[in-house]
Structure 1
């Protein structure tokens, strides 16, 4: 196929990731955003399909395709299909969805569905094989979303924030996530900051049942000199670092702030960091992953 003059005529998004991670919910969100959506198109047909859309006289300008291991042997041709797209002049974005093995196994058991790669073996074996097959596509992804603790509504919001047509393509989406180390580091974190060295409100009886969203907890955390010194340095560091990511073409940055349980210190620091990033005019989202856990 000969290169075509694509320019900015077509926005092409490939949705892939682990089975059970939320691709069905994702494609519905893209439909709501006005994308022309196709689920499970064999990769061999993708370049020809993109070419057909290019000649639709502007009727189809935003495309979202789901492509995953359900395609069996056909899926193995996906990388070649993407290389063909590049040689034709098409630009594309990859949305990769993942979750922990434990959550994926639970979802398969709840829905009583069989994992596409576990016809003869266990679900965990299928997930392990699938992770290997998808590793190279995860490395090429423009946006990785860990759906382990996301409700469908929250997944839709993340997709909308990143892929909405109103979003400036040259901007970066900064996601701030508070978490508890006892529950594990967020899988999609780019930068992780450990605030367990700060004085812990958990050991104050009156503050233990509260969270970092409560004024008395915030007051306790910020009263310490070490907290203010740390945050001043964190603020300065990110003010320098984020523009570097933007210049390199990074479109999403996930900053994870962790304390022991993800309820007090990390929440307080994340709230303030989110406010600061908005002051810097970055599109910012805030999530307190473990705030409701015991």
Structure 2
């Protein structure tokens, strides 16, 4: 069976490089970007995995595989495996993470762990052995990132810029959750917004039994000038917040919008806030914690 090809098959990314250079950080960022990540795969398993993904019929369009020297002698099979897959038409890229020796020493010492190849020798012996083992793969890498002067946030930014399909590079996902204050605050809220200052549809007989997802209620709530003014100013105020989350590599944020019972005002406002954030280029969705509770 032929592995997935460049025409319609998945994209395969090999993440490799020096131990301590940031492979775990890179793998986490790729997972947040929607890649299916496999860690510490023996090179001999690359072909069977590519075949398996090819049979998934698009369920795993982007596959990232972390391969490193934890596999000891097996790592020497990586370069031949890459050559074979490319010859068979697999859409393949290699990301190699590198770091200066002195920086690697400091990083290993800070976590008080030995280098995986140092054995009974010095840490520098292990680093030198790893450089020898990975030199061939480094030579054929599509992207080399030197993380010597990077912290985890800067490395995450570099990976996002290299592999995000979003032109802005933003991978922040916002959940706008409606809730009722009488049922308690959501424990996972990053921001809590109180919209009990808005007129309450509960006191309108024709709207009382409807929900904020129903158009008559949404039109009534959003038709008030104070609702429009609040949404305009709140979305504007969120711009530096969103930028800050990007800089700090916060990928998931929850905004909780509350009214008394979580049925009318908060629901309509949550849907509209999510819509406006989406229009502003943020991946946002609305969920309703207490809708349906009486």
- What's the TM-score, normalizing by structure 1? 0.55
The equivalent residue for 2:139 is 139
Quick one: structure 1 residues 106 and 58, their matched pair in 2 at CA, closer, same or farther if it must change by over 3 Å? same
Paired residue secondary structure (2:37):
strand
Unaligned 5+ segments in structure 1 are 169-294
The match for 1:52 is 52
Q: Which residue of 1 aligns with 2:12?
A: 12
Q: Is the 8 A contact 2:42 2:67 kept in 1?
A: yes
**Does residue 120 of structure 1 match 2:145?**
no
1-structure distance, mates of 2:144, 2:38: 20
Query: Secondary structure of the residue that 2:91 maps to in structure 1?
Result: coil
Which residue does 2:88 correspond to in 1?
88
User: Which 5+ residue runs of structure 2 have no aligned equivalent?
Assistant: 169-294
Mapped contact 1:35–1:64 kept (Cα < 8 A): yes
Q: How does 1:97-112 map to 2 (within 5 A)?
A: 97-112=97-112
* SS state at 1:19 partner: coil
Cα distance change, pair 51–164 in 1 and its aligned pair in 2 (3 A): same
1:73 equivalent to 2:76? Answer no
1:1-294 → structure 2 map (5 Å cutoff): 2=2, 5-166=5-166
- Conservation of the 8 A alpha-carbon contact between 1:26 and 1:159: yes
Instruction: Give the SS at the match of 1:81.
Output: helix
Kept in 2, the 8 Å contact 1:95–1:144? The answer is yes
User: Is the 8 Å Cα contact of residues 16 and 94 (structure 2) preserved in structure 1?
Assistant: yes
Structure 1 residues 3 and 48, CA gap change in structure 2 (3 angstroms): closer
CA contact (8 A) 1:3 1:87 kept: no
In the alignment, the residues of structure 1 paired with residue 87 and residue 154 of structure 2 have an alpha-carbon distance, to the nearest angstrom, of 36
Cα displacement (A) at 1:80:
2.0
Q: Distance in 2 between matches of 1:2 and 1:63?
A: 17
Inter-partner Cα distance in structure 2 for 1:19 and 1:88: 30
CA distance in 1, matches of 2:8, 2:151: 33
Q: Shift in Å at residue 59 of structure 1?
A: 0.7
Quickly say closer, same or farther: Cα 1:54–1:3, change in 2 above 3 A.
closer
1:98 shift after superposition = 0.8
Q: Deviations over 1:160-214 (max 9, x none)?
A: 111112359xxxxxxxxxxxxxxxxxxxxxxxxxxxxxxxxxxxxxxxxxxxxxx
C-alpha distance in structure 2 between counterparts of 1:60 and 1:126, whole Å: 36
Q: Relative to structure 1, is the Cα distance of residues 118 and 93 closer, same or farther in structure 2, using a 3 angstrom cutoff? A: same
Tell me, in whole angstroms, the C-alpha distance in 2 between the residues paired with 1:102 and 1:118.
15
The TM-score with structure 2 as length reference comes to: 0.55
1:27-59 CA distance string (max 9 Å, x none): 001001000001100100011101111111211
Q: 2:167, 2:139 → 1: CA distance?
A: 23
Pairs aligned (count)? 168
Shift of residue 5, structure 1, vs aligned partner: 4.3
Matches of 2:102 and 2:24, distance apart in 1 = 20
Contact kept, 8 Å, 1:6 with 1:54, in 2: the verdict is: no
Could you tell me how far apart the structure 1 residues matched to 2:8 and 2:108 are?
A: 40
Q: What root-mean-square deviation, in Å, do the aligned CA atoms of Structure 1 and Structure 2 show?
A: 1.7
Mark the CA change 1:44 to 1:96 in structure 2 (over 3 Å): closer, same or farther: same
Identify which range, 35-44 or 69-78, moves more after superposition.
69-78
Higher radius of gyration, 1 or 2: 2
Distance in 1 (alpha carbons) for counterparts of 2:93 and 2:56: 21
